[in-house]
Amino acid sequence: MLHEAAMSDADLAQALEVGSGLAEEARAKGQSLLAVGEMGIGNTTAASAITSVLTKKPVAFVTGKGTGLDPGAQAHKRQIIEAVLQKHFPTAGIDLVPDPLEVLRCVGGLEIAAMTGLILGAARSGTAVVADGFISTAAASIAFAIEPRVRGYLFAGHQSEEPGHRVLLEYIGLKPILSLNMRLGEGTGAVLAMPIIESAMCLYNEMATFASAGVSEAKL
């Protein structure tokens, strides 16, 4: 993405379709709660670029250590992201935020695009999604930028140690269910949050009221 767009239009469309197809497959199986996560190297760079463009926050503010970079490598990472954004979005932060699909095409990745397609497809069919770490939340932020009503179907499983993750959660308007000081994004936080979501649903739908339980009102 330093030299050309990360994906062609055809690549982007195919990746979005892969994610949308997974959401449709889950709906057909009657699944009502999905998790998105990823495993990769270098994709916190893509997520930081997406975060900076969508939120108009400085690159230095949203770019963390990733897999554990030393200060010199982290500074180089920031310089690369600055150059990438200057190449593809030289007026970002001055004019309106660029089209989110173009942001995804230029500085995203196939895994981020597939997760974006899944989130959009899940919301379209009324299926809730638990986003995990920084990269999957970058996908959620693209989906939200495309269609803000997606937020009603999103949970944030946890808040990553990556600084950009907090910025994206605030951008979407999500509060993390867990905060465990993790840098993981492979779905760990999302899966850990699922029993809490399920317990909350049980309490909401099945908890007895004072009247149904035959509990008399408290008296002073």
Residue 73 token pair: 């490598």
Residue 60 token pair: 């230095």
Computed on alpha carbons and rounded to an integer, the radius of gyration of the chain in Å comes to 19
Kindly report the number of other CB atoms within 10 A of residue 33's CB atom.
17
Indicate which residue of 162, 186, 198, 217 is catalytic. Answer: 186
Catalytic residue flag (residue 17):
no
Q: Supply the residues annotated as catalytic.
A: 186
